[in-house]
A and B are shown apart, each in its own frame.
Chain A
Amino acid sequence: MKRSYGPLLLLICLAVFPLIVRDQYYQHLMILVLMWAAIGAGWNLISGYTGQVLFGAACFFGVGAYTAALLLHKLEISAWWGLPLGAVVSVALAFPFGWICFRLRGPYFALATLALNEILRHIATIWESLTEGMVGILVMQTFVSKAPYYYIALVLAIASVVIVDKVMKSRFGYYFVSIREDQDAAESMGINTTFYKMVSLCLSAVLIGLAGALYTNYMGFIDPHVVFSLHNISIMAILVGIVGGVGTVYGPAVGAFIMVVIDELFRSGGFGLLAALGKTMQWPFMESVTKYVSQAHTLVFGILVIVVILYLPNGVVGDWELVKKKIFFWKRQTV
């Protein structure tokens, strides 16, 4: 049996990354990639594999983030306890969330998750005595260097991928996909679809909630607008999933990498290239171009959603054959 060394090689590269690349900026980007890989894996479980498309991933992210923040802010307990506790609270949220949303099928489920996202954001904004509202909560960062955060994120990301892989090969995996393919048939096969949908949601909630708690500890500041954000968390989670490949194990990781790169590409004006170009070519208008480009990331997200759905609906991993053909075609043209 052929042994694939790819994943092992990747693992080694990831493990030594912060030791080789010392620039904090790139370490920060990789931490984001790892965090999104975990969120994407969680999203993929309920949306890609079980077919219940989550439009409100931010619900669990925000709840995990606030659990960590409030532990420190209100109870003066280290925010790191927010990781296990954030996971617990996320699961607790999953129950009423599922109770409300699972009685709806298809697009109505998606809509209900969206509504819940917005409701939670409003609650977090209005309930100032608990969450400090729009002022947000500041958390003292435990570590000065980024390396410890990187390794924790790495563990989370690897755990997510491994968990998804193992779950999908088990009875749960078969049941999840059966529910996605045909819920009525699944019921007739003896599958308690309500129970298994809930299990899938809880698992997703754990992964996304853990990422949220990590976010609090790493960034040191959260507010409702950021952690319950529809565009920057929920839609981003969907993009990570669809760009990478819905219903694949490695899809979310690939999607996370691509999305963080694209996001940062625009936010920093081509990693500073546009500004540098403006300086060297003495083009004064480059300054405003750079400014527009850096604010365009939501526009890019919107365009990406449209383009991916139309042309690459199963993502880079899912539609890999298509991607290879396009690259091949391009290569042949240049020869």
Chain B
Amino acid sequence: MDVFLQTLVAGILKGGLYGLIGIGMTLIMGVMGIINLSHGQMMMVAMYVTYVFFHYMGLDPYVTLLISMPSLFLLGMLIQKYLLNPLIRVESILPENQVLMTVGIGMVLTEVARFIFTSNYLSVRTTYSTAAWYIGGISFSQALCIAFGLACTLTLALFLFLIKTDLGRSIRAVSQDAEAAELLGVNSDRIKVITMGIGAALVAAAGTLLLPIYYLFPDIGGPFTRKAFVITILGGLGSTVGAIFGGVTLGLAEAFGATYIGMDFEDMIGLIIFLLVLVFLPGGIKTLTKV
């Protein structure tokens, strides 16, 4: 029973972080219709930024959040402005140019990271990396709990931003109907750039928060992009609430898979869930709950 509860807790906490990854991606998908296969690689960049500031300046990762989020925001904006927005005007026979472009971007990000940092596994170990709080015999990893808390805060902030601010409303408008939004005076190109920035910033936060309890190497981007997918699809494309549920679901699935089946299968579980959901539930959990 203890093992079960332990796994449950670990799954939910991790799921909160996963939700953050998923929200970024689903926002991008909802607003631009872009499938960003470099999402995990952007997270990797944030993680390297966090590592650098920890190792060379002794900055605690939670402080580096204030650096990694804006830098990835900028990176996301640049990518959208110079590489993705222009694609709309490109005349090509190949239908999936945009997905392919993000694959290329992901590859470039990974290889540049490899060039600078080599393929070595790096880690950031802080006082709270391995510390845990104990409630009733169940250990609550401190780092995960703080990460979960910060993830919830950021998610809440995002919701408030989308609902209450003008910019947020513009973003929602473009995600519903870009043409109509343009007719109402919204510069949809600019909105797309900003949205990609926001998505990148969110996944940067997830990366920074995850680093103290994870490890880092250039190829970490790929598996996380796939996880982002699973989360997004599980939660229903474009649904930010769904992404949270998707994140928790994946977190739980991975935790239970790791405990009861084996560590090797972590990636596979994600992939199989992904395929199953794509095949049987094209609308994601959203269609089940009719939200």
Contacts and interface: CB of A to CB of B under 8 A. Distances in A.
Determine direct contact between A and B, CB below 8 Å.
yes
A53 interface: yes
B59 interface: no
A155 B122 CA distance: 48
A119 B115 contact: no
A115 B93 contact: no
A246 B94 contact: yes
A312 to B, nearest CB: 9
Contacts, number: 122
A115 B275 contact: yes
Given A108-B278, A299-B112, A309-B87, A53 B264 contact: no
Q: How large is the interface on A (under 10, 10 to 19, 20 to 34, 35 or more residues)?
A: 35 or more
Interface in B112-157: 112, 115
Given A103-B279, A104-B282, A305-B101, A318 B107 contact: no
A108 B96 CA distance: 10
A230 B226 CA distance: 13
Contact of A107 (B99, B108, B112): B99
Contacts of A51: 95
Contacts of B274: 115
A302 B111 CA distance: 9
A302 B104 contact: yes
A299 B108 CA distance: 5
B92 interface: yes
Contact of A302 (B95, B96, B107, B222): B107
A299 B86 contact: no
B271 A122 contact: yes
Contacts of A110: 96, 99
Given A118-B267, A302-B107, A305-B107, A53 B94 contact: yes
A107 B96 contact: yes
Interface in B49-100: 83, 86-87, 90-100
Contact of A305 (B90, B104, B275): B104
B104 A303 contact: yes
Contacts of B272: 119
A305 B229 CA distance: 22
Contacts of A115: 226, 271, 274-275, 278
A261 interface: no
A260 B160 CA distance: 52
Interface residues of B, number: 39
A111 interface: yes
Tell me the dominant secondary structure on chain B's binding face. helix
A119 B107 contact: no
A112 B87 contact: no
Contact of B105 (A301, A306, A313): A306
Interface in A194-241: 230-231, 235, 238
B86 A310 contact: yes
Contacts of B103: 55, 235, 305
A292 B116 CA distance: 11
26 contacts: A48-B94, A53-B100, A100-B279, A107-B96, A111-B278, A115-B226, A115-B271, A118-B271, A180-B93, A235-B103, A235-B107, A242-B94, A246-B93, A247-B94, A296-B111, A298-B107, A299-B108, A299-B115, A302-B111, A305-B101, A305-B103, A305-B107, A309-B87, A309-B101, A313-B97, A314-B91
Interface of A: 47-48, 51, 53, 55, 100, 103-104, 106-108, 110-112, 115-116, 118-119, 122, 126, 180, 230-231, 235, 238, 242, 246-247, 292, 296, 298-299, 301-306, 309-310, 313-314, 318
Interface of B: 35, 83, 86-87, 90-101, 103-108, 110-112, 115, 222, 226, 229, 264, 267-268, 271-272, 274-275, 278-279, 282
The 8 closest A-B pairs by CB, nearest first: A302-B107, A305-B104, A313-B92, A299-B111, A302-B108, A53-B96, A306-B104, A247-B93
Given A122-B268, A309-B90, A309-B101, 20 more contacts: A48-B93, A53-B94, A53-B100, A106-B95, A107-B96, A108-B278, A110-B99, A115-B274, A118-B271, A122-B267, A126-B264, A180-B95, A247-B94, A299-B107, A299-B108, A305-B107, A309-B97, A310-B101, A313-B92, A314-B91
